[in-house]
Amino acid sequence: MLENNHSRPASHQSYEILRDRILNGELPGGSKIVEEKIAADLGVSRTPIRESIRKLEHEGLIVNKRVVKPSEKDLRNMFQVRMLLEGYSAQCAASYLKEHDLQSLHQCVEIGRTGTVEEIMEANERFHEIIVRASNNPVMIDIIDRMSSIIFLFRKTVVFYNRPHLIDEHEQIYQAIKARNGEKADRLMKTHLQADLEFCLHLLGC
């Protein structure tokens, strides 16, 4: 049951709940999404639920009234876009990143070597987030954000299985950015994402 209180609208609350349930696997890929069921479950009417479902559809997490189950092709396509946008972002980072953010990047690498699984996952996300924000381009950030909810379902796997070289690659990217070598940062980021993708697909037996 949602809070009736002075919180966000029910449509937004239910959006967040559904999103979480999808991302943490509670609603696995392929699950049928039925408005009335969800509404009853969350204790609100169908009206706000519809809205949250539409939002999730737009985000790509729900397709055809079912929780998305991205195909190998889908992932390749999303990673191709990421390579272009994050590669460019890495270039921007090399040109513009301030000392403070550079230090944060370095910290992410450190945590990647010494942290717990949860810490590492968080640091990985942050590493990419810092770089993407360096693009200083909200349109780009938004596109990556939207894809990242789907990609999240995979990064989990990658870190859980502790992909070899992942942190080394981050370190190299960090070094290139620190050395203000944009062209190299771009190239390394693309290679990094390509490796990520292949590792995911391999693990998932694609």
Name the site residues for DNA (rule: CB under 7 A).
6, 9-11, 33-37, 44-48, 50-51, 65
Q: Taking the complex as a whole, how short is the minimal distance between the CB of residue 147 and DNA, in angstroms?
A: 25
Q: Taking the complex as a whole, how short is the minimal distance between the CB of residue 145 and DNA, in angstroms?
A: 21
Number of residues counted as binding a copy of itself (CB under 8 A): 20
Do 56 and 22 form a contact (C-beta atoms < 8 A)?
yes
Do 72 and 114 form a contact (C-beta atoms < 8 A)?
no
Verify binding: residue 35, a copy of itself, rule CB under 8 A: no
- Near a copy of itself in 147-176, by CB under 8 A: 147
Neighbouring CB atoms inside 10 A of 101's CB total 16
DSSP classification of residue 181: -
DSSP letters, 9-46, are -HHHHHHHHHHHHHHTTSS-TT-B--HHHHHHHHTS-H
Residue 56 binds: one of DNA, a copy of itself, none (C-beta under 5 to 8 A by kind): none
Paired strand residues for 62:
67
Please give the angle made by the CA atoms of 133, 139 and 140, to the nearest 5 degrees: 50
Interface characters, 72-101, with a copy of itself (x: CB under 8 A) = --x--xx-xx--xx--x-------------
When the beta carbons of 80 and 175 are compared against a copy of itself, the nearer one is 80
Instruction: List residues near a copy of itself by CB under 8 A.
Output: 50-51, 54-55, 58, 74, 77-78, 80-81, 84-85, 88, 135, 137-140, 143, 147
